[in-house]
Amino acid sequence: MDTIGIGVRVWRYLKGKDVVTQESLMDGGNKVVIGGFGDPLICDNQVSTGDTRIFFVNPAPRYLWPAHKNELMLNSSLMRITLRNLEEVEHCVEGRFGTSKHGH
């Protein structure tokens, strides 16, 4: 399966900044390469220049090395940035599932 890796500007890490290696950072530490775009197993993985999304990623698995060693790989659909989505993701990261103001 061929997928595409693209350079993505990171505005904020919600979790896992500690697993992003120095070798993965580009453009003075503001960008990372994320692979997995075009993966048919991930429903919403289409982006355009200028889009702002929440990305759920993991370091590239060893079986994709050396070609993708310093890349992060999508592991889920992209999420649009809304206040509600940010709250939901932050609550999950903090271990507070289902505690948003929106009753979910």
d(CA 35, CA 71): 6
Which domain range does residue 39 map to?
6-94
Count of domains for the chain: 1
Residue 32 Cα distances to 40, 88, 100, angstroms? 22, 24, 30
Render pLDDT for 51-85 as a digit per residue (tens, 0 to 9).
999 999 999 999 989 988 999 999 999 999 999 99
Q: Is residue 101 part of a domain?
A: no
Tell whether 79 is covered by a domain. yes
- Does residue 50 lie within any of the structural domains? yes
pTM above 0.85, yes or no: no
Residue 102 forms part of a structural domain? no
CATH number at residue 50: 2.40.50.120
Report d(CA 34, CA 26) in Å as an integer.
Answer: 12
